[in-house]
Amino acid sequence: MRNTLRTFTLLAALTAIFVGIGYSMGGPNGMIIAFGLAVAMNAFSYWNSDKIVLKMYRAQAVDASHPDPLVRNYASDVIELAGRAQMPLPKIYIIDQDQPNAFATGRNPDHAAVAATRGLLRMLDRREIRGVMAHELAHVKHRDTLTMTVTATIAGAISTLANLAAFSGASSNGERRGGGLLGLMVMILAPIAAALVQMAISRSREYEADRGGAEISGDPEALASALRKIEAYARGVPNPDAEANPATSHMFIINPLSGQGMDNLFSTHPSTANRVAALMDLSDQTRA
């Protein structure tokens, strides 16, 4: 309950930043326009988030009849785990990427999808893959997929609007001598604030999904082992699609960005070591 309240508080903070930029650009009218734009973007994300992200990563739908045994086992396990979680079966996708990773998307459990990369299926054993997919199903069950999509949409819009605010202030010359400085401050500080809020939301939801996934699979140690392996491999295997779309990085179970640029200035994921420690504590509690 505490994490849920914190998530909604942080989402409200993101919206406030966005509306504040609108006010700095056009006063009360700008604030109203910015608020309306935020509502429109969130409505668009609500209905189209899963299609956009899956297309972005060129994900392909699969099922338990797939000819590749790795994919077939993966699909079968998702079906079985969804049954254990007593939730609707999400659509199942595979992404042709070497980096081991996975994510979930969709506006609610009835309209959701889970996706794993081929690298994940090749590098993890079946028990670990089950742990990962149980984590993604927990995201769906907790409706994190909608929350994170809205977060990404607003955060991305803040950066765009901040750039417009800076340009507007800089181009006003003598009419608004302070406008250029205000615009510059908005351009720098607003995206940083948005990134910090996005990071805080993502981190709180990852811990909850780890716990929920461990409950679904009944095997916290499998997810802990998977997280260690994914992080170790992901650091050395770039994900070009994620590098081209860094706003989606928070959706993955482990940050897919290689850090070649400035994308990792604010990590959207909690420390893997801390996540593993929490899972091992949960495993000890389960055995006690």
| Feature table: binding site for Zn(2+) | 135, 139, 206
Q: What number of CA atoms fall less than 13 Å from residue 69's CA on the CB side?
A: 2
- CA-wise closest residue to 209 among 156, 145, 265: 145
Cα torsion for 254, 256, 259, 264, to the nearest 10°?
A: -60
d(CA 187, CA 180): 10
Residue 253 CB neighbours (<10 A): 31
Residues assigned a catalytic role: 136
Q: Which residues pair with 92 in a beta bridge?
A: 114
For residue 67, the SS3 value is coil
End-to-end CA distance of the chain: 25
Known binding residues are: 135, 139, 206
- CA-wise closest residue to 253 among 127, 129, 87, 109: 129
- DSSP-assigned letters across all residues of 89-136: PPEEEEE--SS--EEEEEEETTEEEEEEEHHHHHHS-HHHHHHHHHHH
d(CA 230, CA 213): 16
